[in-house]
A and B are shown apart, each in its own frame.
Chain A
Amino acid sequence: MAVVGAMAVHAVVSRQEPAAPTHSYWIFLGMVLAVSVFLSLLQRWSNGLRRWMGHMCPIIAAAFVLLTLWAVITSGFRLLPLPYFPSPAWILQSMIEDRAMLFDSTWHSLLLLLCGYALGVAIALVTGVCIGWFDQARYWGMPALKLIGPIPATAWIPLAMVLSPSQMMSAVGLIALSVWFPVTMLTVSGIANTRASYLDVARTLGAGRGYLIFRVAVPAAMPSIFIGLFMGLGTSFLTLVVAETVGVKSGLGWYLSWAQGWAEYGKVYAALIIMAAFFSTIITVLFKVRDRVLVWQKGVIKW
């Protein structure tokens, strides 16, 4: 039923379309229509597919309703000023025309993000475990963490440009810094809040310091560490886009400001759409990793 609803919406979208000057949106909608017809036929034979479609169709249909609304407002009635608010068809066209550049930008962003994130997490875990476990490290490290940590990583940009030998390295450093603070903070809190009774049990089982830190405190802190990893991911996206906008000569952030410079707002939206897909994919991957690592918490975690 939901499939039929979705198809009806598609039909409406298609009818609204003639105002658009290009064919690609037609092709896109035709493809969506074909896929949904195909799936609605297929679901007769597959229970799992039917359940999935029953679940997904309302939200997908809603997305297309919004898209249609957008098309009506922009290309239908021309209510919003061009070039700032192009029609969906126009955006799709920009995406296809610039696909090589968009792909290249996404690739560079991914590389930069992964380097910075990995570096930041690695350093954060070391500092977090040290500050969380050793009293000496806590005494000296905590004030530094509290002072330096809250400064937004982007505020270091003027310094980073002077200090680092290359734009790429300064961007990696900034992203690492932005990840470092939340991950360290939550690692510290996770380690320091390890239930004392776990440590007592481990001691009576013959555990040495290494076991207590890496096999008791760190696993016990994992749920907290993952909250830090998610927060760090959020700040790293922000830092990535800003760093690319002001320094690095590639990546999605750079593409965004470049397109804006040429007043090609179709491309701006195209970049935004790619970013949405890109960032949410990375978050989904982190969720999957968390579900794997924290499998022992299943039924306990609600986020």
Chain B
Amino acid sequence: MVTIAASDAVREPSSLRARGVTKSFVAHGDAADRTLALSDVSFAVEAGELVTLIGPSGCGKSTLLRLFAGLETLDAGELLVGNDPISGPSAERGLVFQDPNLFPWLTVRGNIQSGLVARGVLHSKRREVDNFMRLVGLEGFANAYPHHLSGGMAQRVALARALINHPRVLFMDEPLGALDTFTRMNLQDEVLRLWQMNRMTMLLVTHDIDEAIYMSDRIVIMTTRPGRIDKTISVKLQRPRQRNSPEFLKLRGEILELLHLAGKAPAVEPT
């Protein structure tokens, strides 16, 4: 196993805070006709914590993530990383999307090292590229182009590309949503391993309740239109978690209840 922290100036994970965050978008190109995406959202993520945002489509989860990443500006409220307000994108806050969004013109190696190139530090950290390729199990694919990769492999490259900057916070927007069940479960373990090894705060958006329970310290449930924080649930299960343990299933039932989904299907399927 490769330890990454040793080869880079160790970055401490940052806490995240949202206070009264409001964000609306112009709808149909008409400045007067605005859709409220987030309304008065407040919550906090401790440094080093793994928190999941869950909620129905259109509840503004992704918008919140983009605001935190600095890719959007907010209308009202305050967003803090540590004690600093967010003013724009930064290499200290990584972002992984559902679509891996690999640069198709770069090889696997080129993609993974693009963060180092962008920051102009490739020369001094060339060895890290190999480390990270090994870390996500892609040593043999250094010179492959993205269109040759499977969905799971592409998402590993995207992870390595985000992690090579040693971000204090990693945002993930349904990173495993497009993958098949087997690949997804494998990658959930992988992400957990990377999170534990790299000491960082992680904020994950997902649709998958099992994924949320399996991975996170806390689950933040959001309501839709406008997006608001509904409830926060602490997951106190010991890692590694058992997907079919009674505690796991009980929690799953509670969350389904909260999302008003329990009535449409049995909350606990017999296994």
Q: Which residues of A contact B (CB under 8 A)?
A: 195, 197-198, 200-208, 211, 215-216, 219-220, 222, 295-300
Contacts and interface: CB of A to CB of B under 8 A. Distances in A.
Nearest to A300: B147
The CB with the most chain A CB atoms within 10 A, among B88, B107, B145, B146, is that of: B145
A202 B114 contact: yes
Given A202-B118, A298-B147, 11 more contacts: A200-B97, A201-B161, A203-B89, A204-B69, A205-B91, A205-B118, A206-B90, A211-B118, A216-B103, A220-B105, A298-B145
Contacts of B117: 211, 215
A195 B94 CA distance: 19
8 contacts: A195-B101, A197-B99, A200-B95, A200-B97, A201-B97, A204-B70, A211-B118, A296-B105
Q: Which applies to chain A's interface (DSSP): helix, strand, loop or mixed?
A: helix
Interface in B201-249: none
Given A204-B69, A204-B95, A205-B91, A296 B118 contact: no
A132 B130 CA distance: 36
Interface in B138-171: 145-147, 161-162, 165
Contacts of B66: 200
Contact of B89 (A204, A219, A295, A300): A204
Interface of B: 66, 69-71, 88-91, 93-95, 97, 99, 101, 103-107, 114-115, 117-119, 145-147, 161-162, 165
Contacts of A299: 147
B94 A204 contact: yes
B71 A198 contact: no
Contact of A205 (B97, B99, B162): B162
Nearest to A220: B105
A219 B118 contact: no
B147 A296 contact: yes
A203 B103 CA distance: 13
Contacts of A211: 117-118
Contacts of B88: 203
A297 B95 contact: no
Contacts of A222: 105
A197 B161 CA distance: 15
Contacts, number: 78
Contacts of B146: 296
A202 B66 CA distance: 14
Given A215-B118, A219-B105, A296-B106, A206 B91 contact: yes
Among all A-B residue pairs, the 10 with the closest Cβ atoms: A206-B91, A203-B89, A207-B118, A205-B115, A219-B105, A204-B95, A206-B119, A296-B145, A211-B118, A296-B105
A205 B147 CA distance: 21
B214 to A, nearest CB: 25
Contacts of A202: 114, 118
Contacts of B90: 204, 206
Contacts of A220: 103, 105
Contacts of B91: 204-206
Nearest to B72: A200
B95 A201 contact: yes
Contacts of A198: 101, 103
Given A296-B106, A297-B104, A204 B114 contact: no
B73 to A, nearest CB: 13
B219 to A, nearest CB: 24
Given A200-B71, A300-B147, A205 B114 contact: yes
Contacts of B165: 205-206
B85 to A, nearest CB: 17
B97 to A, nearest CB: 6
B194 to A, nearest CB: 17
Nearest to A212: B118
A70 B195 CA distance: 76
A300 B20 CA distance: 46
A299 B146 CA distance: 12
A126 to B, nearest CB: 21
Nearest to A207: B118
Nearest to A219: B105
A71 B145 CA distance: 52
Contacts of B115: 205-206
A202 to B, nearest CB: 6
Interface-centre pick from A201, A202, A207, A211 (highest chain B CB count, 10 A): A201
Given A206-B119, A215-B118, A300-B147, A201 B101 contact: yes
B103 A219 contact: yes
A200 B90 CA distance: 11
A246 to B, nearest CB: 42
A201 B95 CA distance: 7
A206 B118 contact: yes
A9 to B, nearest CB: 44
Contacts of B69: 200, 204
A204 B91 CA distance: 5
A300 B146 CA distance: 12
